[in-house]
Chains A and B, each alone.
Chain A
Amino acid sequence: MEAEVKDQLVSIEKPGLIAPPNWEPVIMGILCNWCSYAGSDLTGTSRIQYPPNIRIIRVPCSSRVDPWFLIKSLQTTADGVLVSGCHPGDCHYISGNYYARRRFLVTKKLLNFVGFHENRIQFSWVSAAEGPKFAKVVAKVTDDIKKLGPLHLYKKENFEKK
Chain B
Amino acid sequence: MARVGVFVCFCGANIADYVDVPQVVEEVKRIRDVKYAIEYKYMCSDPGQGMIRDAIVQYKLTSIVVAACSPRMHEKTFRKALSDAGMNPYLLEVANIREHSSWVHQKDKKAATEKAMDLCRMAVAKSIANEQLHEISVPVTKRALVIGGGIAGIQAALDIADARIPVVLVEKSPSIGGKMAQLDETFPTLDCSQCILTPKMVDVASHPYIELIPYAEVLELQGFVGNYKVKIKKKASYVNFKTCTGCGACWQKCPVKVPNEYNMGIDKRKAIYTPFPQAVPNKPVIDAEHCTMLLKGKCGICAKVCLPGAIDYKMEDEIIEREIGAVVVATGYDMWDPKPYEEYGVGRFKDIITSLEFERMVSANGPTNGVPVRPSDGKVPKNVVFIKCIGSRDEAKGIEYCSKICCMYTTKHTILLHHKVHDSHSYVFYMDIRAAGKGYEEFVKKAQVDTGATYLRGRVSKIYKKGDKLMVRGEDAQIGQVVEVEADLVVLATAVIAPKDNPDLARLLGISYDKYGYLSEAHPKLRPVETAKAGIFLAGCTQAPKDIPDTVSQASACAAKVCGLFSGDTMKKDPMVSTISNEYCSGCQNCVKVCPYGAIVTDEVPVGHGSKELRTVAKINEGVCQGCGSCVAICRSMAITLAGFTDPQIINEIVSI
User: Taking beta carbons and an 8 Å cutoff, which residues of A are in contact with B?
Assistant: 24, 26, 28, 33, 37-38, 40-41, 43-45, 47-50, 52, 55-61, 63-66, 68-69, 72-73, 76-78, 92-96, 99, 103, 135
Nearest CB of B to A107, in Å: 11
Q: Which B residues are in CB contact (< 8 Å) with A40?
A: 99-100
Instruction: Give the contacts of B606-657 with A (CB-CB under 8 A).
Output: 626-630, 632-634, 642, 645, 647, 650-651, 653-657
Residue B105 lies at the interface, judged by CB distance under 8 Å to chain A? yes
A-B pairs with lowest CB-CB distance, top 4: A44-B99, A64-B629, A93-B628, A52-B111
> How far is it, in angstroms, between the C-alpha of A76 and the C-alpha of B656 when the chains are bound?
9
Whether B105 contacts A49 by the Cβ 8 Å rule is yes
Q: Which of A24, A28, A48, A94 has the most CB of B within 10 A?
A: A94
Whether A41 contacts B628 by the Cβ 8 Å rule is no
Q: Which A residues are in CB contact (< 8 Å) with B647?
A: 66, 68
Contact partner of A63 among B71, B105, B532, B628, CB < 8 A? Answer: B628
Task: Select from chain A the residue with minimum beta-carbon distance to B626.
Answer: A93
Task: Select from chain B the residue with minimum beta-carbon distance to A73.
Answer: B654
Inter-chain residue pair count (beta carbon < 8 A): 126
Beyond A44-B70, A61-B628, list 12 extra A-B contacts (CB 8 Å). A28-B654, A40-B99, A41-B70, A45-B99, A52-B112, A55-B118, A55-B122, A56-B96, A57-B122, A57-B653, A63-B633, A76-B655
Whether A96 contacts B104 by the Cβ 8 Å rule is no
Whether A44 contacts B72 by the Cβ 8 Å rule is no
Nearest CB of A to B652, in Å: 10
Whether B99 contacts A65 by the Cβ 8 Å rule is no
Whether A37 contacts B72 by the Cβ 8 Å rule is yes
Residue B360 lies at the interface, judged by CB distance under 8 Å to chain A? no
Q: Which B residues are in CB contact (< 8 Å) with A99?
A: 594, 630, 633-634
Nearest CB of A to B511, in Å: 8
Whether A47 contacts B512 by the Cβ 8 Å rule is no
**In the complex with contacts A41-B70, A43-B99, A61-B104 CB distance below 8 A:** no
Contact partner of A44 among B103, B632, B651, CB < 8 A? Answer: B103
Task: Select from chain B the residue with minimum beta-carbon distance to A33.
Answer: B72
Residue B193 lies at the interface, judged by CB distance under 8 Å to chain A? no
Chain B interface, number of residues (Cβ within 8 angstroms):
48
Whether A55 contacts B650 by the Cβ 8 Å rule is no
Task: Select from chain A the residue with minimum beta-carbon distance to B118.
Answer: A55
User: Taking beta carbons and an 8 Å cutoff, which residues of B are in contact with A?
Assistant: 70-73, 96, 98-101, 103-108, 111-112, 114-115, 118-119, 122, 510, 512, 522, 532, 576, 594, 596-597, 626-630, 632-634, 642, 645, 647, 650-651, 653-657
Q: Which A residues are in CB contact (< 8 Å) with B122?
A: 55, 57
Whether B576 contacts A26 by the Cβ 8 Å rule is no
Whether A92 contacts B532 by the Cβ 8 Å rule is yes
Q: Write 17 A-B pairs (CB below 8 A) sorted by A numbering.
A: A33-B72, A40-B99, A41-B96, A41-B100, A44-B104, A47-B104, A49-B105, A52-B108, A52-B114, A55-B118, A57-B653, A61-B629, A63-B594, A66-B647, A72-B651, A73-B654, A92-B532
Task: Select from chain A the residue with minimum beta-carbon distance to B596.
Answer: A94
Nearest CB of B to A63, in Å: 4
> How far is it, in angstroms, between the C-alpha of A72 and the C-alpha of B596 when the chains are bound?
28
Task: Select from chain B the residue with minimum beta-carbon distance to A49.
Answer: B104
Nearest CB of A to B431, in Å: 26
Q: Which B residues are in CB contact (< 8 Å) with A50?
A: 104-105
Q: Which B residues are in CB contact (< 8 Å) with A38?
A: 72
Task: Select from chain B the residue with minimum beta-carbon distance to A70.
Answer: B654
Q: Which B residues are in CB contact (< 8 Å) with A95?
A: 594, 596
> How far is it, in angstroms, between the C-alpha of A38 and the C-alpha of B642 when the chains are bound?
21
Q: Which A residues are in CB contact (< 8 Å) with B642?
A: 60, 64
Q: Which B residues are in CB contact (< 8 Å) with A103?
A: 633
Task: Select from chain B the residue with minimum beta-carbon distance to A76.
Answer: B655
Whether A56 contacts B100 by the Cβ 8 Å rule is yes
Q: Which B residues are in CB contact (< 8 Å) with A49?
A: 104-107
